[in-house]
Chains A and B, each alone.
Chain A
Amino acid sequence: MKYEAIIGLEIHLQLLSESKLFSGAPTTFGKAPNSNVGLIDMAFPGAMPILNKKCVVSAIRMVNALHMELDRLIRFDRKNYFYSDLAKGYQLTQFFHPIGRNGHLAINVNDSIKIIRINHLHIEEDSAKQIHAKDKTLLDFNRAGMGLIEIVTDPDIRNGKEARIFLEDIRDIAVSLGVSNGRLQEGSMRVDVNVSLKVDGVNGEIVELKNLNGFKNVEKAITSEIKRQKEIVSSGKSVKPETRRYDETKNETVFMRKKNTKIDYNYFADGNIAPIRISQELIDEALNYKAAKKVKIDFLLPETIDEINNDPYLFRLFSILQDESLATLKVSNFVLTRVRNEIKRHGSGKLLEIEDDLLSLLRIYDEEEITYKQASILYKQLLEGKASLDSLLEENGFSNNLDNKELSSIIDEILVEYNTAVQDYRAGKDKALNYLLGQIYKETKNKVDSLKIKDMLLMKLEEK
C-alpha cells in the first residue's frame, strides 16, 4: 500500500491592538475578570459593533504578505450557535467574503522550496474565557471580542516538519509586521491541524488535532498521528473521524471526542455593520508600515539603527520600547548586548515567550530598582525558563534595593567617618576616591549600581 499524509492547518492569530475588534474596550492582559468589557462584548440589547481600523490594517498586511487577493469591501456575517462563552449567541466573522483569498507561502524544507497554498484569511472575534470550577463554570469576558484573524491553508502539507516550519514562518511574519505577538503557549496563536491518510490514492477520514501548545509539539503530534493512522490502516481497520489532542509525556495523540455530524451555523450577513470599502489610502498606510514606523533613536549609531530595523525581533522590541518611552541609553545598551546575543545564538523564539517579563525587567532596570548585574542574572534565569519575573525577584532577594535617599544617607555617613580620605581626595590624591567607593560598596552590598554611587559621591564631594 502507498501512504500519503494530507495535512491542512487552521491558524488563529490574536491581533495586536489597544482595543477590541468591535468595542472600544481595552485589550490589556491580566486585568480583573470582566473589567475590560464594552457594551457589545457582553451583548447588551441595543449595543452596536464598530469595526476597529487597526485590526483591518493588520489583516491587510497579512493578506499582502501571504500573496493573497484582497477583498476591498469588508463585510461581516453572523455564525449562529449557542454557547456560554459566546455573549451575542453569534460570532461576527467573514464567512461569505473573507478579506483575503488564494494566497501562498514558500517554505524552506531541507534546503528545497515548497509552496503551501493558503485558501483564505478572515477577520473574526474571540469568545469569552471559561474557567471550570468544581460545580460551576465562571466566565471572563475580557477576551470576548478581541480581534482575530484565521488563516486556512489548502491541504498541501505532508508531514509534521513542514507544518512546524510553515507555522514558524507565519509567526515570524505576523510578529515582524506587528500583527500579532504569535505566542502559541499563551494562546495568542492557536492552531488546529487536520490530518488524513491517502491510501493508494484514496482519501481517508479527517482527524482534527487540537490544543497544541508549542511548535515542536505540533510536529511531534502530526508525526505520531500519521504513525497511528498508518497502523490502523495496515491492520485492515479504518480511521474514524474524531478530534484528538497531543499527550506530551506519552508522545502520542489522545482521543477527545467524536466528530459530530456537521454543525449548521445558520450563517447570514450582519446588518449592524455597514459594508466598508477599503480605500487606497488605507492600503498604503497598511503596507508602508515599516517605512512609516522605523525605529529612530538619537544616540545610536546609524549602523546600529539599520541593524535594528532589519532584524524582525530587534525591530519589534525597539518599537515597543520606543512606544513606551523605554528606549533609554541604559536599556538600549542592555538590549544590544544581552538580547542581541541571544538572537544571534538561538533566534527570537525564547525571547517572544518571555517578552512580557523581559519588558517588565527592562522597566525596573530603567527605573533603577535593580542594578545591571541583577538585571543580567534575572535575564539569564528568564531565558532558562526558571520562573516568572516576580518569583525570581523574590528568590534572588532583589526586591529590596536601596533608593536614592537611602544611598544618600549612607554616603553622608561614610564621608563623615572617613573624613581623612575626603581631605586626601581634595588634596588631589585620586586613590582616595577608590578607597571611599570601596567603603560605600561594602555598605550597600551590591544593591545599587556602582556608576550611580560614583555619580552621587562625586556630586557630594563637589558640594562640600
Chain B
Amino acid sequence: MDYLSKNIYEIHEALVNKKVTPLDLVKEALEKIKKDTNNAFEYVYEKEALKLAEELSKQEVEVDNPLWGIPFAIKDNFSTKDIPTTGSSKLLEGYRPPFDAEVYARLLNKKAIPIAKTTLDELAMGGTGSSGHLGKTYNPWDESKTRMIGGSSCGSAAACAAGIVPFAIGSDTGDSVRKPASYSALVGFKPTWGKISRFGLFTFAASLDHVAYFTKNVKDSALLLNVLGGHDDKDTTSSSLPMEDYVSEIKDNSQPYTFAVIKEIYDDLKDATIKRAFDSLISELKQKGHKINTVSIGLPLVSAIYSAYYILSSAEATSSNANLDGIKFGTYKDADTYEEMLFKVRTEGFSDRIRRRFVIGSISLLEENQEEIYLRALRCRRMIVETFNKVLESNDAVILPASPTVAPLFGDDTPKKSFNKDASVSDNYLAFANLGGYPSITLPLGFEDNMPFGVNITSHHFTESKLLNIAQRVEDITGLKDLTKK
C-alpha cells in the first residue's frame, strides 16, 4: 500500500485507525529511496529511522498530533546532531554537527521521523539543483531525466514530489523552495522573515535566508507553521509576535480579497499554456467576487530585483562561509603556511560556481566598489521593498505565475544569462519576497506536456493567516493538490 504519497492528515488518519504503523511507513520510505533514481539524498537514516519507528509502533498514536510517526526529509544545510551534514559541499564531507537546528528539533519533539538529508545546490547557492558535490538532482515528473527540478532545495522537492515523504524542509534565500515547488507540483511555503527560527540553518545570506518547506497541500503547510513558527531564544531575529492556530484559521468563507498582478512581470510571460492557466485562475477569482488590480511598478525596478538579490546574497555569502577553513571541521589539507592551507582547502573544497560567487561578493564589498555595487544594491533593495510595501498595503496579495516555464532542461545555467538585458523578469522576480521578507507561497497551477507549473502568492509581513486562506481559495479553484508523480 502506498501511504507516503498521501498528505499528512491522510497518513495521520491511517495511523489513528491502525491501518498502518510508523514502522510500515519507514519501511515504505526506505524501499522507495532504494528504487529512487533522482539523486535526491545525501544521507538516509536507515537504522535510526527503523529504530525510532519500532519504538513509536509500540506506543499509542497521539491523536492530537498529526506529525506523530510521519516520515520527513530535510535539506542538508540544516544542522543535525551526529548526522552527517554537508551542505552538498565537498569541503564539509565527514562533518557531523554537535547540535540540532531548531526546526529539526521541533519535528523530532513532535515524533516525526527523519528519513533523509537531501541534496542541494552547493551551500544553497544556485537554482538548478545540479551544483552539489553529488551532481544533478532530477525531476521525478520527467522520466527522460533531462529536466531540472530547480534549486537550491532540489532533493527535498524531489523526495516530496516522488511520494517518498509527505513533507520536506528546505530553505529559501532567493526562491529556493518556491521555484522548485512550481516545477514539481508541490506547495512551497516561506513564511515571513523571523517567523521561523533560523538557528541551525547554515547561514548563506542572513538578511535573505528563510526556513521554508514543501507539502502536498495548503492545510499541511498551515499545520507545519503551527509547529515550526514562533519565537526561539536561540535566534534573536525570530519574531516574538503571538502565534495563531493556522489550521483552524483557514476558514471556509467567501470573504473577498484584493489581488495585485504586477504588469511588467505578467507582460513578460511568453508560454501560452501558462498564461492561459493564469488568466483563467484570475477570471475565476473575479467570478467569486475577488478584486484584481493590475499594478505597474516600472520595468527598471522589476529588473533590479534579481541584480540586487544577486549582489547582496553573494556579498553576505562570501562572509557567511568564511568559517569554512577546514581547521575546526570539514576537510583539512596540510600545508606549510596558513595561507597555502586555506588556498588548498577552499580551492579543492568548493566548486567553480561557488568560488565565482565569493569573488563577486568580495569585489562588491571592497572599499573602492562598495558605493558603486554593494550600497547601490542596498538602495535598490530599499526601493523595491518600499514599492512592494505600498502594493501590499492596498492589496491583500500579489499573485503571479511562479515560473514563466515548466522545469527547464539542464544546460547552460550560468548566472550571466540572468544579468543580460534580455533576462526574463518573470523568471527572476520571486526574490522580491526575500528582499522584503514577505510570506510567500507557491502552489500548483497546471501542466504542460505532463510537466507541472505553479502560481505564487505573496502577502504583507506576518499575514500568514490571510495568505494561507487565500492559498486555500486558489487551491479550491485549481483542484490541484496531493499530487505525486507515480
- Give A contacts to B, CB under 8 Å: 39, 42-51, 78, 80, 82-84, 87-90, 137, 139, 264, 266-268, 270-274, 276
> Known contacts A39-B99, A87-B328, A266-B362: does B322 contact A272 (CB below 8 Å)?
no
B202 near A78: Cβ-Cβ < 8 Å: no
**B327 within 8 Å of A (CB atoms):** yes
> In the bound complex, what is the Cα–Cα distance between A276 and B236 (angstroms)?
10
State whether the Cβ of B10 lies closer than 8 Å to any Cβ in chain A: no
Complex contact A44–B98 (CB within 8 A):
yes
Q: Could you tell me if A48 and B199 are in contact, using CB atoms closer than 8 angstroms?
A: yes
Which of B181-189, B203-211, B386-394 faces chain A?
A: B203-211
List B residues 173-232 near A (Cβ within 8 Å): 198-203, 205-208
Does B84 have its Cβ within 8 Å of any Cβ on chain A?
no
Cross-chain contact A44 with B97 (CB below 8 angstroms): yes
Distance in angstroms between the alpha carbons of A273 and B203 in the assembled complex: 12
* B462 CB within 8 Å of chain A: no
The A interface, classified by DSSP as helix, strand, loop or mixed, is loop
Q: Which residues of A contact B208 (CB under 8 A)?
A: 271
Q: Are B98 and A82 within 8 A (Cβ)?
A: no
**Which B83-128 residues sit within 8 Å CB-CB of chain A?**
85, 87, 92, 97-99, 101
A141 to chain B, nearest CB (A): 8
Q: How far is the CB of A277 from chain B (nearest CB, A)?
A: 13
By CB atoms of chain B within 10 A, which of A82, A271, A273 has the most? A271
C-alpha spacing A80/B358, complex, angstroms? 13
Q: How far is the CB of A438 from chain B (nearest CB, A)?
A: 63
- Which residue of chain A lies nearest to B98 when distances are taken between CB atoms in the complex? A44
Contact between A271 and B205, CB atoms less than 8 A apart: yes
Q: Is the CB–CB distance between B236 and A51 below 8 Å? A: yes
Size bin of chain B's contact surface: 35 or more
Chain A's nearest CB lies how many Å from the CB of B158? 23
- Rounded to whole Å, the gap between the CB of A106 and the closest CB of chain B is 36
Q: What CA separation (Å) do A82 and B343 show in the bound complex?
A: 11
Closest partner residue, chain A, to B92 (CB atom): A45
A45 to chain B, nearest CB (A): 4
CB distance from A363 to the nearest CB of B (A): 35
Closest residue of A by beta carbon distance from B316: A271
- CB neighbours (8 Å) of B16 from chain A are none
Is B420's beta carbon under 8 Å from chain A?
no
A276, B319: Cα distance in complex, Å: 22
Q: Which residue of B lies closest to A22 (CB)?
A: B236
Q: List 5 A-B contacts (CB under 8 A).
A: A43-B323, A44-B329, A48-B198, A80-B319, A137-B338
**Docked pose: A273 CA to B194 CA in angstroms:** 12
Given the interface pairs A87-B323, A89-B325, the reply to whether A46 lies near B79 with Cβ below 8 Å is yes
- Chain B min CB distance to A272 (Å): 5
**A-B interface contact total, Cβ < 8 Å:** 106
| Chain A hits for B366, CB < 8 A | 264, 266
Residues of B close to A39: CB separation below 8 A: 98-99
Cα–Cα distance between A45 and B316 once the two chains are bound (Å): 14
* Chain B residues with CB below 8 A from A51, complex form: 236
**A228 vs B342: C-alpha distance when bound (angstroms):** 39
User: Once the chains bind, are B233 and A50 in contact (CB under 8 Å)?
Assistant: yes
The 9 closest A-B pairs by CB, nearest first: A89-B322, A271-B206, A43-B323, A266-B365, A271-B207, A46-B200, A46-B79, A45-B202, A274-B237
With both chains docked as a complex, state the minimum distance between the C-beta of A38 and any C-beta of chain B, in angstroms.
10
Residue from A42, A47, A87, A270 within 8 A of B206 (CB atoms) = A270
Please indicate the chain A residues that have their CB under 8 angstroms from the CB of B318 in the complex: 80, 266
The answer to whether A89 touches B319 (Cβ under 8 A) is: yes
The yes or no answer to B64 lying at the interface (CB within 8 A) is: no
Beyond contacts A272-B203, A272-B206, A274-B237: 7 other A-B pairs, Cβ-Cβ < 8 A, are A45-B85, A45-B92, A48-B235, A80-B365, A84-B338, A268-B374, A273-B236
Interface residue from A50, A90, A137 paired with B322 (Cβ < 8 Å): A90
- From the candidates B85, B99, B323, B338, name the one contacting A89 in the complex (CB within 8 A): B323
List residues of chain B with CB within 8 A of the CB of A50.
233-234, 236
Chain A residues within an 8 Å CB radius of B329: 44
Q: Residues of B contacting A274 with CB < 8 Å?
A: 236-237
A78 in contact with B319 (CB, 8 Å): yes
Cα-based distance from A107 to B322 in the complex (angstroms): 43
Q: Which of B201, B203, B316 has the most CB of A within 10 A?
A: B203
Residue B367 interfacial (CB < 8 Å)? yes
B278 within 8 A of A: no
CA of A49 to CA of B236, assembled, Å: 8
In the complex, which residue of chain A has the Cβ closest to the Cβ of B238?
Answer: A274
The CA of A42 and the CA of B318, in the complex, are separated in Å by: 18
**Complex Cα spacing A153 to B472, Å:** 61
Question: Is B325 a contact of A82 with CB atoms below 8 Å?
Answer: yes
Which residue in chain A gives the minimum CB-CB distance to B343? A82
